[in-house]
Amino acid sequence: MSAPLRETPSQTAGPFLHIGMMPDGAAMRPLHRAAPADGVLLGGGLFDAEGAPVADALIEMMQEGGVWARCATDGAGAWSLRAARPGARPFVDLWIVARGINLGLHTRLYFPDADRSADNAMARIPVERRETLVASKGADGAYRLDIRLGGPHETVFFDA
Amino acid sequence: MTPRDRSRHPPALTPGYFSSVHRAPREALVPLDPEEADLSGPVFGTADIGSLDHDLIRNAARPGEMAIGPRILVHGRVLDEAGRGVPGALLEIWQANAGGRYRHARDGYLAPLDPNFAGCGRVLTDGEGAYRFDTVMPGAYPFPNGPNAWRPAHVHFSVFGWAFPQRLVTQMYFEGDPMIRHCPIVATLPDAGAVEALTARYDPANDRPMDARAWRFDIVLRGRRATPVEP
C-alpha cells in the first residue's frame, strides 16, 4: 500500500480573491444558491487585531440541510448572508479567507435564541470567550455578530 | 474526516508577510471532534459551470479575439489523502494577466490590462478527479511588503471537495521560476516539501503541439478517516 498523501498546503487568498470567488459575470456567472425561503439575515463586521475593518475578505457559511452562501466584506468590513431559520443545530459554520490569512479560519455564529446547552463545541470554549460566537438579534429579526481576528475580544476559531 | 495536519500549512502569524501581523489570531484554536463536525458541503454540478469557464484565453475575449500571453494548460487530479480521485470537486481559479496585472479595482500596477482577459475560471473534476484549464502564463508583479517584494508567477486555487472541512484556498507556482525562493508569501510555507507540493511541473507529454505547454498540478484534500485494518 502506498504511503498516504499529505494535504496540499494552504496559501493566502490575497487581496484580489473577488476575481475568482465573486466573479462579476463578465467572464463567469457568480456561483449562486437560492436563499432559503423564510430565511434570516446574518451580518456584522470583520475587524483585525487593531480594530480596523477587513475590507477584502470572503466569508462562506455552511448550515445544516446543505445551506451554503458566500459574501465579500465591503469597504467598512461589513458582511451579510442569508441563512435558514435555526433548526436542530444552534449555529452556522463560517469560513474566512483574505489577504494576510494564511489558512482559512473556521468559526461559528450561534443563534442567541437557540438552546446551546447540549452543544459540545461550546462546552470546550472557556466561558469568558463563548460570547464572541453568540449573535445578537435586532428588532428587525436579523442576527448580528462582529468577528475579530485578534485583540482583546478575539473571536474563537476552531480546528475541525 | 482525518484531522488536519497543521504542520503542513503556514502558521497564522508569519511576520515576514506583513499582512498576517494584524490578521493572525493569537489564541489557541478550539478543537472540534471531526466525528462531530458537520461533514456536509455544498454540492456543485455541471449546471454551475458555463461552457467557457475552463478557458481563460477565451472566456472574456471579444468575438474572434484571445487573451495575450504564453499559452498554457494547467491540469492534474484532485485526490484525497489515500490517493483516491475526488470526482465532482469544484475548482475556482484566478490570476494576473501575462504582464502581472489583475483585473481588479484595487490593483494599480503599471502593467496594462488585457481587454480580452478577466483572469477567472472554474471547472468540476471528472469521474477520476481530473481537471484542466486553458490560460496564459501569469506575470510576476511587485507588492507592498518591504522595499522590493515580488510575487512569482502563480495561479490562485479555491477548492470544494465533498465536505466543508476540506475547503482549501492555495496558490500554484511554476517549476523553475527563480522568483519562488524570494517571495515572502511562499516563505510562509513550513518547509521545502510544502513549496514543492505547490509547484506545478512542466509536463511536455501533455503539451498541445504548436499550441500550448502543459503544467501538471495535483491537489490533495483531507480524506475520510481510515478504518483500521488487521496487518
Residue A90 within any structural domain of the chain: yes
Residues A20-70: pLDDT tens digits?
999 998 899 999 888 888 899 999 999 999 999 999 999 999 999 899 999
The per-residue pLDDT for A1 is 45
Q: What is the pLDDT of residue A146?
A: 98
pLDDT the model gives residue B226: 64
Contact: A150, B197; criterion CB under 8 Å? no
Please indicate, yes or no, whether the overall pTM of this predicted structure exceeds 0.90. Answer: yes
In a domain, A61, yes or no: yes
Mean pLDDT of B31-36: 77
Could you list the residue range(s) of the whole structural domain that residue A118 is in?
41-148
- CATH topology (fold) of B60-221: Protocatechuate 3,4-Dioxygenase, subunit A (2.60.130)
- Would you say A6 and B197 are in contact if contact means Cβ atoms under 8 Å apart? yes
Does residue A50 form part of some domain? Answer: yes
Q: Which of A14, A28, A157 sits opposite B53 (nearest CB)?
A: A28
d(CA A154, CA B88): 36
User: Got the DSSP string for A18-31?
Assistant: HHHHS--SSSSPPP
Cβ neighbours for B168, distance < 8 A, ≥ 6 positions apart: A7, A8, A10, A104, B157, B158, B159, B161, B219, B221
CA angle at A112 for the pair A106 and A114, rounded to the nearest 5°:
95
Count of residues in chain A: 160
Distance CA A11, CA B156 (A): 9
What number of CA atoms fall less than 13 Å from residue B138's CA on the CB side? 27
Which residues are paired to B120 by β-bridges? B94
- Which CATH number characterizes residue A137's domain? 2.60.130.10
Q: Per the structure block, which three cell numbers stand in for A13? A: 487568498
| Each residue's pLDDT tens digit, B115-166 | 999 999 999 999 999 999 999 999 999 999 999 999 999 999 999 999 999 9
One-character DSSP codes across A89-121: SSEEEEEEEETT-SS-EEEEEE-TTS--TT-HH
Task: Give the alpha-carbon dihedral of B215, B216, B221, B225, to 10 degrees.
Answer: 180
Quick: pLDDT tens for B71-111: 999 999 999 999 999 999 999 999 999 999 999 999 999 99
- Whether the CB-CB separation of B95 and B139 falls below 8 Å is answered with no
Q: Which of B102, B122, B131, B222 is catalytic?
A: B102
Is B37 a residue whose pLDDT tops 90? no
Q: What DSSP string runs through B186-212? A: GGGSSSHHHHHHTEEEE-GGG-BTTTB
| Phi, psi (deg, nearest 5) at residue B6 | -70, -15
Give the helix ranges, DSSP H, for chain B.
Answer: 192-197
Average pLDDT, chain A: 95
Say if the Cβ atoms of B23 and A98 lie within 8 Å. Answer: yes
Length of chain B measured in residues: 231
Cell reading at B190: 513550513
**What are the domain boundaries of chain B?**
60-221
Ramachandran bin of B46, using left for φ above 0, alpha for ψ from -120 to 50, beta for the remaining angles: alpha
Grid cell for residue A109 = 455564529
Spell out which residues of chain B touch residue A17, defining contact as CB-CB under 8 Å: 94, 156, 158, 169
Catalytic residue check, B182: no
Q: Is the pLDDT assigned to residue B40 strictly greater than 50?
A: yes
Task: State the Cα–Cα distance between residues A102 and B188, nearest whole angstrom.
Answer: 8
Q: Is residue A13 part of a domain?
A: no
Q: Between B59, B169, B189, which is nearest A28 by CB?
A: B59
Q: Is residue A107 part of a domain?
A: yes
Quick check: is A53 in a domain?
Answer: yes
Confidence band, pLDDT 50/70/90 cuts, at residue B33: confident
